[in-house]
Amino acid sequence: MGAQPRATEGAPRMTGQRSAPRVPAGPGEDAPAWKLSANENPFPPLPGVLDSAVAAAGSLNRYPDPACRRLTAELAGHLGVPPEHIAVGIGSVGVTQQLLQATAGPGDEVLFAWRSFEAYPELTAVVGATPVQVPLTPGAVHDLDAMLDAVTPRTRVVFVCNPNNPTGTVVHRAALERFLDRIPPTALVVLDEAYLEFVRDDDVPDGIDLYRERPRVCVLRTFSKAYGLAGLRVGYAVAHEPVATALRATALPYGVTLLAQDAAAASLREGPAMRERVEALVVERERLHAALTAQGWDVPSSQANFVWLPTAERTTEFTAACARDGVLVRGFPNEGVRVSVGTSVANDQFLQLAAYHRKTWSRRNARIG
């Protein structure tokens, strides 16, 4: 992957309440909380996107284009791929469901690392296929050798989430290419790149390059993260034929709204502003990682817009304590906590809580010892 832009003095400042989502802390509670649980972009929509959405609102009496032709054409030009290789859907989750409906069913297997994106097993169950989970390495990275060993003649789809959600860890180019070369042609490899724009590791490949070289590779991307359109639900896949055609055939008719299509197309034309905002989030991510490491947490290096704390059996306790103190994080019981990168104000609040609980647990362990 080519070098990415570094922080500049012109990068947006990550301060203020407007760009830091605050929501009710819980049912019936009025006190607001910093929402760092959903990997949302804390910035408002990109310049020009709101204008596009307002203009589109004048046509809300009309159905959207079910084929998303304008957005597909813009994506094709943006990525340098044929438009017939693109399938647009209701967020990357919607496209994932289309993909599984098109490729897997009862008696088939869908393979993925675990823990990874929680929609994989849920959507696999929807189509009646069997989920096959392969544990991450102790470093919270995809165990590609173990995944290869788990492939069977029934394997139809293999997901590689890169960067991985919720750990933020990545698979590097050489390892991924070796993996792809050894996957049998009966299986489709899906590279889920929802967080690609946040990657600063030059050894992480761009999935589009791998798709160009390999007909059994499909790339998933979304407008929800770097582009900040989570509320509009727009995602897409890039794949060769016949996969792309099958994906479009399983799409929900009129599923991607008129506002969503226009806003996504407008976002593609805001590349410089998007990259500037992403860089500000990357700077905050690195600050979070450094501060948590200094506090004594074992935090994997993240290439996404979140960090992972392996809180193990204390996950539920930690998640609840954060919520009581006004910070919402995403806990995975008995495994860890995923914390989205927010504004500097929200991040500082979380760091204070993390430091307090780290010291409390250390004192507790010392008494037990």
Same domain, 125 and 266: yes
Predicted confidence at residue 361, as pLDDT, reads 82
> Does residue 254 sit within a domain?
yes
Q: What is the dihedral of CA 178, 183, 184, 190, to 10 degrees?
A: -130
Same domain, 151 and 233: yes
| Closest CA relative to residue 46, chosen from 256, 226, 282 | 226
Domain containing 98 — which CATH number? 3.40.640.10
Q: Which of 221, 254, 270 is the last residue of a domain?
A: 270
Is the pTM higher than 0.85?
yes
Same domain, 266 and 277: no
Predicted confidence at residue 366, as pLDDT, reads 56
> Does residue 226 sit within a domain?
yes
Same domain, 263 and 291: no
Contact between 190 and 238 (Cβ < 8 Å): no
Q: Which of 270, 294, 312 is the last residue of a domain?
A: 270
Same domain, 236 and 321: no
* Whole-angstrom distance, CA of residue 112 vs CA of residue 133: 5
Predicted confidence at residue 53, as pLDDT, reads 85
Same domain, 166 and 311: no
List the domain range (segments joined by +) for residue 190.
Answer: 49-270
Same domain, 256 and 302: no
Give pairs for 101-108: CB < 8 Å, separation 24+.
101/127, 101/250, 102/243, 102/246, 102/247, 102/249, 102/250, 103/156, 103/157, 103/188, 103/243, 103/246, 104/129, 104/156, 104/157, 105/129, 107/154, 108/154, 108/155, 108/156, 108/157
How do the pLDDT tens digits run along the chain, 369 residues long?
A: 444 333 333 445 555 443 445 554 444 445 578 999 999 999 999 888 988 888 888 899 999 999 999 999 999 999 999 999 999 999 999 999 999 999 999 999 999 999 999 999 999 999 999 999 999 999 999 999 999 999 999 999 999 999 999 999 999 999 999 999 999 999 999 999 999 999 999 999 999 999 999 999 999 999 999 999 999 999 999 999 999 999 999 999 999 999 999 999 999 999 999 999 999 999 999 999 999 999 999 999 999 999 999 999 999 999 999 999 999 999 999 999 999 999 999 999 999 999 999 998 877 765 544
Same domain, 123 and 199: yes
Same domain, 257 and 277: no
Q: Which of 243, 270, 297 is the last residue of a domain?
A: 270
Total number of domains constituting the chain: 2
Same domain, 120 and 233: yes
Same domain, 122 and 253: yes
Same domain, 280 and 266: no
